[in-house]
Structure formats: structure tokens, C-alpha cells
Amino acid sequence: MEQMLKNLFLFLSKNKGMTRAAKKYGLRFGASRFVAGETLEMACKVITDLNRMGLAVTIDYLGEFIEDEQEARKMADQCIEAIRMIGRNNLDSQLSLKLTSMGLDVSERVVMDNMRRILEEAKVHQVFVTLDMEDFPRCQPTLDVFKTLRAEYNEVGTVIQAYLYRSEKDIAELDELHPNLRLVKGAYKESGEVAFAEKKAVDDNFKQIIKQHVLNGNYTAVATHDDKIIDYTKELVKHEGISGDSFEFQMLYGIRNEKQLELVNEGYKVRVYVPYGTDWYGYFMRRLAERPANIAFVVKGLFKK
């Protein structure tokens, strides 16, 4: 049943009609648990509160699968405004974005123009930018864009997904760039031809790529809510004598808040992924797919006055 629900939510996450409806009706039915708000001002308040608790942040203006150059430019403008907000308020925050929101599906010229505009602003305000990883067909294009940008800017990193067979090879090939990578399990529905299907296989590969990247000496962000992966990382860095400024844990806004603070109190750096904006539907569906028990929050929302 859990796998059926996961597949359903992943299917719904790509429904454009539902995405349009979600933008129209706003954050309802439990989505506000995982999304900081619809405006930059709302997100700023959330970041400020998290920083006061000792938590770092990466902010994400939600949007994906944009097929129009003008819309992609508007998305890039929003990212630039977010960077300026971070600098203006001296917040402990980075920026995350999806390349499809920057025009990856439009043309190479569009996505590169938008990314260079963003990274020029990021350089001014010393804000780090992470290129989120999306579904498998966009994996290689994302890495290609990252390699080009990394040759020009220090303020950019990307994401590697543990459920893909190719991830260990990708990390090896990226090593010469000394990349700052966020390592995740992966949240899209992929074919067995390109991705591990069994949880144990994904977990084993996750541990392998964490170890690989840490021992390469490159900054590692371990993005997980899984205690076993967290404990593995703790033991690994302790055994290998890895300094605390060489890695961090990352978690999603609204999920395992107590664990986030527990790790901070233990002396670990924790960064919270804080999404905001009106295009929240796809992100929300993937959060439900990751943990169908979150449906309870949607059910409560249905009866909320």
C-alpha cells in the first residue's frame, strides 16, 4: 500500500492541471507545513527564526519545468531578489534552484544567461548557490551546466542522488572540480534501468557516495532524515578525523524539527531547506511520496476552518 501511495503522489507531482489549481488556491491542505509561505517576506521571517535557533538555511523559490524564456527570466529575477534579501538582512542562508526553472528545457543560451546573472549577484553578496538535481533525463544536462559554471564561479554546487547507478562515477568525474555537493537519496520515480529499486540498495549506495566524497576531501552536505544514515556519517567523520567545517547535515523545512535541533546541540552544522512561492504543488506531492504518513496533515487541512 505504501509503495502504491508513493507512486500515486509521484504521478500527481507532474500534473500540470493540479499545479495551476494549486497556484490559484494557495497553500492549503497541509502544504504550509513544508513551505515557508508564498512571498519572499514570509520566507525571510522563517529564515530569521531558524537562524536564531542555530540552524543555517538554503532557500528555494519553487518552480520547475518552465518552457517559456520570459517566465524563466522572471524566475531568475526572483532568485536575484532572494540573494539580495539574504545579503541585506545578513542571513545565514544559501540559495537552491532547479535548472528547469531557469530555462534548461528552453535552450542552453537561456539557462546559462540566467545562471550567470544569478551567480554574479551571488558573488557580490557571497551567497552560495546549489543546482538541485531533478529527474533522470535532466541529470546529465544539469551536470554539464554545473561543470561550465564551476569553471567560472566558486559560489556554485550541485546535487548527487544515491538511487542512481551512475552516482559513484559522477562523483569521481567531478572530483577534479573540488565540488561542494549535496548528497541525497532521490525523490523522483525512475526506471529500474537507471536506478536502484530496493531501499537497502539505495541506502548502501548512499553510504558509499558519502564516504567517497568525504574522503575526496570535498565539502559534503548529507541531506537525509534517516537516523541510520546520520549515524553512519557521524561514525565516518569521527573515524577518518574529518573536521566539522568540511561537512553538514541538511533536512527539509517542517520535517524532524526536533532532530535538527538535537544535531545542532551536538555541535553539528545543520542546514534547513526552506522552499517558498506559489508553485508549491510538485514539491509538496514529492514530500508526501517520500513519507505517505504525511497525508495525515492533508486530511486535517480538509476539515480546518
Residues that are catalytic? 132, 182
The 10 Å Cβ neighbour count of residue 183 is: 26
The runs of H, that is alpha helices, within 241-275 are: 257-265
Residue 281: CB atoms within 10 Å = 24
Q: Which of 291, 252, 259, 256 is nearest to 274 (CA)?
A: 252
Instruction: Characterize 13-46 residue by residue with b for buried, 16 or more Cβ atoms within 10 angstroms of its Cβ, and e for exposed.
Output: bbeeeebeebeeeebebbbbbbbbbbebebbbeb
The answer to whether the CB of 71 falls within 8 A of the CB of 110 is no
**Hey, which residues does 159 pair with through a beta bridge?**
182
Q: Is 22:280 a contact under the CB 8 Å cutoff?
A: yes
Question: Is-contact 171 218, C-beta < 8 A?
Answer: no
Asked if 62 and 34 touch (Cβ cutoff 8 Å), the reply is: no
Quick one: residue 133, left, alpha or beta (phi over 0 = left, psi -120 to 50 = alpha)?
A: beta
C-alpha to C-alpha distance for 271 and 54, rounded to whole angstroms: 9
Give the span between the Cα atoms of 153 and 160, in whole angstroms.
Answer: 19
Q: Please answer whether residues 56 and 9 qualify as being in contact, where contact means their C-beta atoms are separated by less than 8 angstroms.
A: no
Q: H or E element: which one contains 220?
A: strand 220-223
Using DSSP's 3-state secondary structure scheme, residue 252 falls into strand
